[in-house]
Structures are given as structure tokens and as C-alpha cells.
Amino acid sequence: MADLIASDALLTEEQNQTLRLLLNMIIPPDAERGMPGAAELDFMGYVFEFANDRIEHIKRELDSLNKSSRRQYTVTFPQLDDNDREALVKRLYSTRRQFARNIEVQIMFCYYQDDKVLKALGKEARPPFPKGNEVLRGDLSLLDPVRQRPKLYRE
Amino acid sequence: MAEDIADILIIGAGASSAAAAWSLADTRMRIICLEQGDWMNPSEYPSNSKQWEVLRQVDYNQSPNIRKRETDYPINEEDSAVSIANFNGVGGGTILYSAHFPRLKPSDFRVKSMDGVADDWPIDYKTLDPYFAQNDRNMGVSGLAGDPAIPWHEPPLPPIPIGRMGEAMGRGLNKLGWHWWPSDAAIISEDYEGRGKCLNLGPCNSGCAQGAKSSVDVAYWPVNQRLGVELRTRCRVSQILVDDNDMATGVLYFDENGVEHLQRAEIVIMACNGVGTPRLLLNSPSAGFPDGLANRSGLVGKNLMFHPIGFVEGYLDQPLDSHLGPQGTCILSQEFYETDPARDFVRGYSLQIVRGQPPASIAVSGTQRGDIPWGARHHEAYQKYVGRSVMMAVMCEDLPELCNTVTLDPELTDSNGIPAPKITYRFSENSKRMLQHGLQKGTEAMEAAGAFKVYTMNQVRDTGWHLMGTARMGTDPENSVVNEWGRSHDVKNLFIIDGSIFVTCGAVNPTTTIQALALYVADSIKKNLANLFD
């Protein structure tokens, strides 16, 4: 609970709203596949716990997005309608190489290690140890042509 | 009170140290090993957590400059095209290594004679062969006998599983008529010597929670301690001392509280890796050795070799579960290992097919490359890539060059004020041409296996895994730092047993050869005890 309170307080209300909208534009929900949208996850809780050094970068990226929104539309990103938000993100994504790079990287790590997501992908939400994984031993008769070759090394 | 004098003092508790201590223990001499790091706690390794992909990025990062543990020392890499990987702790670099265990080949010891470049080693493959075999048994090595690319040897355990990915790549390589073979791996495929077999956790390179990866903290040190070897952790050696007769008398070291101690010894053995060993020698000047201990040849810290590395990553149009299984090993092709005069470079390289990227990492690289887009198509695109990635390392032979060096940084120090190492390194033209060839051949292999997308990564910086050549062995004191059995030419009771003593480096991971050399040097010490310092 302490972490939750701390992570909630990491962003301003405007940053928080901007983040939630952006996250679902990066990974939207997909009802057909049973996949949650990225905004459904406790992203900042994850960042607080596992990528603390990225928090300031993430804040700057959110502020930069709002600045671009104000410059182009005179309102903040959350105040835009869906079409304008889509157009703005599309433009920034194609013109700025580093646009929202920290948010993008961290949401991928957060999303694809999340229990809900792993279950939706048909995977067990567990650490690798102690259960481990089954890996096919492999058909070593595939080596027959290699075995028939003369020695390949020089004496 | 009698002075505390060790018969043998070993600096460092990594791969070479563990092997040498094991061998020397049967002399019943008093052996002390000083290690600057701690014992590892496998329950803290990232694979105990669901978030292992992110947890490995800092605390278990291969770079001491990122990891920044209390036990790490910083390294100045500003003038280096490659950044250093290491680990300080009981086990040393084996804590994070991939455990890929291919041996050097006979021709690797005779590079000058066979190909007219670099220098020959003063020993040959046959000399090391029994030590390779002994070390395989001690470590617990899995593999398959009969590889036509290496002299016959029989690993004690059956090969680790190659999985669907290994099969797919093997079929592709068969189409091309190229060599491939399941990798020898220091990972136990069956229960062995009280250790549980590999569970295919995946991230070997951030420590093995199961203990199936043969890092020497589990494979050697418990045995060594039972044999009477004393291992002291959090002891950071700052200097080796010598007397007026050019004999080492012991070392100065700092304990974890920063208190300096003197440990006397009759024999000092350095096992601090190809960066740590020259660092310590250069930081041990004296009246007789103003340019650094055992450095009358001027070669301490020179001839630094890595293995220049590029990657080919392919995505196959079939589910492979390629992220499962020991991450750093699967199969390797040595079709282009030996020199071919028809090529525009000398010597050669290995194509090491390792496992694919894990699930979250696939999403990160896929979005950054534009393969996995933002928005509605994200989920569909992710499914196209996850579990289908194949990573191939093009591992080239480096050649020794005087311009590639380890020196002492004039300003940067560790937490005890010991000067940090400074690395100066650039890729040679030969390496660049070799890498280019390897990336092209790796791409052909991926396409033959049916890859629908292939990426190449040239001259990858974060690959300074193998640190070699900075205190080379040889018979001529003018042209080498240690003799043909690891003893310093200048200081007769000082030995070096880590990758520093490599004359050339072949094109394979060096740990098995480092350990075979350590066993060979230890055996040489035992055989020459009567006149060891002559």
C-alpha cells in the first residue's frame, strides 16, 4: 500500500491523465484476444519499483507531449478529441526519434511481465525458478551429414 | 607470535583460481585465496522473480560501471570500442557467463607457424588435452562426442536440449552443407555431484538459481574448502610486494571496512582476469620494477584481446519457444573457423546460435524497430515475433596488437583509492573484414532456416566478455611476461593463470581453456617444487 500511495503521487493530475491516454494508444485493449489495455496496469507502481531512475524521464516526456499539444491545438493532450490525439501522436512518433521512448520501453517491460497479460497470452504467471521449463531435446539425427564430413580442424 | 605466511596466496576466486586451488590442495600446503567480492546468494538471482527480465538490467548487469556494487571497481572505457564485462564475487565472471564451453583448437596454438600472424604459444593443444578433460569432470560439462571440428573428446554429460530452434537452425545449416554441432556447455544436463540438473530457466547470464550452471562457486569452491583451501571474501588486493631479490613477499589488501592488511606469502598466484591482473601489476611498482611488477618486457597491459562480436537475429515463421533453455548456448557452426587464403582476412570465427530474445525484450526491440507497432495492430504483430527469435553471435578471433591496452587511469579510482583500469581498444581492419563476412554468412544461415526477417548488428560494443593477452606467456623474457608454465620471467615466485597469459585467443569463449591452463600451471608448480624458483 505504501508503494501504491508513493507511485500515485509521482505524477501531477495532468501528467497522470496524459499517461493513461498515451498508454492505451500504445497498447490498446483487445477484447477479442482478451488482452487488457496498457492503462489498466499499475504502470507507475511498476516504474517506482523497478525503474526508479526513469521517473524523471517519463515526467519530461509527458510534459513535452502536453507542450506540443498546447502549441498545436492550444489545449492539453487530455483535452483533445480522439482524432486530434491520434494525429498528434502519429506526427510526433514519425518526426521525433526519441518520442516517448522511456514510456514505450518501460510499458513493454511492465505489460509483458504482468500476471493479467501473461494469463491472457496463455502463459503461467510465475518466475522461471523453481519450476523451470520443458525444452525439446531435439533430433540429433539431423547431425548425420555433419558426422560424415572429414575432420575440419588443422593439426 | 609467528608471522602469518601463506604457502600459496591466490588473488581472485573466479574460474582459474578455483581450478588451480583444487589442484594445489593435494600438496597440503597452506593456500589462501583473497576475493574482493562476496559469496553469491542464488535465491537473489533474477530468475526467482516474475520480473526477471528487468531485474537483471542493473544489479546483474555485466558492466561494473552500470552495476556499481560495493565490490565493483570502475573502468574507464572512453577510448575503447568495446566495454568490459566482469563480475567480482566468489565465482568471478562465471556468475554471469553463458557457460558456453568450446575449446581452443590445435591451430589456435600455432597461429604464426600456420598463418604467419601474431605468435605461437609455447605449449600446444595436446599439452592441455588432459587438463581440459579433468576440468570438464570437475565443472560438469554437457556435450556430444564426435564433432569433426575439434579433436575427439567426450564430455561427461549428454548435451543440453537444442529445442525446436536448434532443430530449425540445424536443418538450415544442413541445406547449406555447413558444419554445426550442439554446444559444449558447463551446464549439467543430468544431476551431477550433488547438484540438480538444468531446468531450462532461461537467464543463465544473470546467475543460475538452480545451481545447474557450473559457476565455480558451486562447481569448485565447496570442494576446495573441504580440501582445506582458505577463502577470504571482501579482501581487495591493492599491491603485490617484492623484496630486493625480486621475489614476491606478499600483498597489501583492504578489508570491507577499508582497513589495510598485509598478507605474507611464499608464492603469489594472480587470477584477476585480463584487466584486473595488469591493473594490479601496474599498481605494484617498486625500485626494481618502476614500470610495474613483472614488467621488464614492457608487455604488461599490452596486446589486450577481446573477441570482436556482431549479431545476426532472425525471426522464423514457426513457433520455436526459442526463449526457453539455457540462454547463452544451443548449437554452433565452425564452418569458417580455420584460415582460408581465398578470404580477405586471416584466421576465422564461430557462429554461435544461442536462444532467442525473451518475451518482454521482444516487445521492446520490436517496437523500437517498428515491427511491432503502437495501436490496434500491436497484439497481432507481437504474436508474430514472440518465441520465434533466433540470436546468432559472430565471434571472431582477435589478434594481439600493442596499441590495445590496459593502463592505470590517472584520476579514476575505486572506493579504496586504487587506480581504476583504463582501456584503449579499437577493432583492427582484419577484424572488421572478418565480422562483415560473418554477418553475411550468418544472414545466409538464417535465410536457409526460413527466417522471414533478419537483422544484423556489427561491432557490438557491450561484448567485452573475454579479456585476454595482457600478460602473455612465452619462452623469451623480452617478448612475454610469464614463461611456458605461467611463472613470471622477472619474479620467480609469481604466477599468472587467468586469460592474461593467452598468446592468441582463437574464436571461442575462453573459460574452458583458461581453466585447463590453470590446472596445467598448478601441475607444473607441483612437478617443479624442488626447483620452483630457479
**A108: distance to nearest CA of chain B, Å?**
6
Q: Which cell numbers in the block locate residue B299?
A: 608487455
Q: Which of B36, B498, B75 is nearest to B253 (CA)?
A: B36
Quote the DSSP letter at residue A122. T
Bigger pLDDT: A8 or A24? A24
Distances from the Cα of B418 to the Cαs of A115, B10, B92, B233, B413, in angstroms? 46, 19, 19, 18, 5
Contact B331, B169 (CB under 8 A): yes
| pLDDT of amino acid B3 | 79
A131 touches chain B (CB under 8 A): yes
| pLDDT of amino acid A97 | 86
The identity of residue B422, as a single letter, is: K
Q: A1: pLDDT confidence band, cut at 50, 70 and 90?
A: very low
Q: How many whole angstroms separate alpha carbon B124 and alpha carbon B105?
A: 9
Find residues 51-80 of chain A whose CB sits inside 8 Å of chain B: 51
Q: How many whole angstroms separate alpha carbon B151 and alpha carbon B147?
A: 8
A·B CB contacts under 8 A: 164
Domain presence at residue B208:
yes
| pLDDT of amino acid A7 | 59
Find residues 191-250 of chain B whose CB sits inside 8 Å of chain A: 199-203, 209-210
Per the structure, how many domains does chain B have? 1
Alpha-carbon Rg for chain A, nearest whole angstrom, is: 23
Instruction: Give the relative orientation of helices A101-111 and A43-50 as an angle to the nearest 10 degrees.
Output: 100
Q: Which cell numbers in the block locate residue A105?
A: 520501453
Determine the residue of chain A that is closest to B340 in CA distance: A154
In chain B, what is the greatest distance between 2 CA atoms, to the nearest angstrom?
78
pLDDT string in tens for chain B (534-residue length): 567 999 999 999 999 999 999 999 999 999 999 999 999 999 999 999 999 999 999 999 999 999 999 999 999 999 999 999 999 999 999 999 999 999 999 999 999 999 999 999 999 999 999 999 999 999 999 999 999 999 999 999 999 999 999 999 999 999 999 999 999 999 999 999 999 999 999 999 999 999 999 999 999 999 999 999 999 999 999 999 999 999 999 999 999 999 999 999 999 999 999 999 999 999 999 999 999 999 999 999 999 999 999 999 999 999 999 999 999 999 999 999 999 999 999 999 999 999 999 999 999 999 999 999 999 999 999 999 999 999 999 999 999 999 999 999 999 999 999 999 999 999 999 999 999 999 999 999 999 999 999 999 999 999 999 999 999 999 999 999 999 999 999 999 999 999 999 999 999 999 999 999 999 999 999 999 999 998
The structural domains of chain A, with segments of one domain joined by +, span 2-126
| pLDDT of amino acid B495 | 98
Which residues does chain A have within 8 Å of residue B161's beta carbon, measured at their own beta carbons?
Answer: 135-138
Contact B187, B218 (CB under 8 A): no
Q: How many whole angstroms separate alpha carbon A153 and alpha carbon B498?
A: 26
* Nearest beta carbon to residue A139 from set B105, B167, B364: B167
| pLDDT of amino acid A133 | 96
Q: Do B163 and A138 touch (CB under 8 A)?
A: yes
Domain with residue B372: its CATH number is: 3.50.50.60
Q: A84: pLDDT confidence band, cut at 50, 70 and 90?
A: very high
Q: Do B379 and A35 touch (CB under 8 A)?
A: yes
A122 touches chain B (CB under 8 A): no
pTM, two decimal places: 0.96
Q: A3: pLDDT confidence band, cut at 50, 70 and 90?
A: very low
Q: How many whole angstroms separate alpha carbon B478 and alpha carbon B57?
A: 44
Q: Is the dihedral of CA A101, A103, A104, A110 positive or negative?
A: positive
Helix, coil or strand: residue B78: strand
Instruction: Give the relative orientation of helices A101-111 and B359-369 as an angle to the nearest 10 degrees.
Output: 150
Q: A9: pLDDT confidence band, cut at 50, 70 and 90?
A: confident
Q: How many whole angstroms separate alpha carbon A140 and alpha carbon A150?
A: 19
Q: Within B25-84, where are the H helices?
A: 52-55, 64-67
Percent over 90 (pLDDT), chain A: 92
Q: What is the value of ipTM here, to two decimals?
A: 0.94
User: What average pLDDT does the segment A51-78 reach?
Assistant: 97
- Count of alpha carbons within 13 angstroms of residue B486, beta-carbon side: 27
**A26: distance to nearest CA of chain B, Å?**
4
Domain presence at residue B79:
no
* Domain region containing B120: 5-47+54-72+84-531
Q: Do A154 and B163 touch (CB under 8 A)?
A: no
Which residues does chain A have within 8 Å of residue B321's beta carbon, measured at their own beta carbons?
Answer: 133, 135-136
Pick the residue of A143, A148, A149 with the most B CBs within 10 A to test the interface with B by mutation: A143
